[in-house]
């Protein structure tokens, strides 16, 4: 696994943890910030065809879609 893939997956895991903590504490602001971060990471992952665990479920729980990769984006 490349360092880039490891970094993307690590950032996704961290953002998912923040989302879970925000949900548990009822902090709506942090929930929204976490969701924005997850969407951003998912967009980069999709552009590079990097699968991420737990991201689709977390976004869909809030009615958000997983970003699709750009057709002209480089692959990992």
pTM over 0.85: no
Contact between 23 and 9 under an 8 Å Cβ cutoff? The reply is no
Print burial letters for 7-27: b (CB count within 10 Å at least 16), e (below 16).
ebbebbeebbebbeebeeeee
* Low-confidence winner among 18-22, 58-62, 72-76 (lowest mean pLDDT): 72-76
Report the pLDDT value the prediction gives residue 68, as an integer from 0 to 100. Answer: 81
Query: What's the length of the chain?
Result: 76
Report the pLDDT value the prediction gives residue 73, as an integer from 0 to 100. Answer: 58
Q: What is the pLDDT of residues 33-53, one digit of tens each?
A: 999 999 999 999 999 999 999
Give 19's pLDDT tier (boundaries 50, 70, 90): very high
């Amino acid at each position: 696994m490349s360092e880039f893939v490891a970094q993307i997956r690590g950032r996704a895991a961290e953002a998912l943890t923040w989302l879970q903590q925000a949900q548990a504490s009822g902090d709506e602001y942090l929930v929204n910030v976490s969701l924005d971060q997850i969407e951003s990471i998912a967009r980069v992952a999709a552009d590079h065809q990097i699968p991420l665990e737990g991201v689709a479920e977390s976004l869909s729980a809030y009615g958000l879609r997983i970003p699709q990769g750009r057709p002209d984006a480089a692959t990992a």
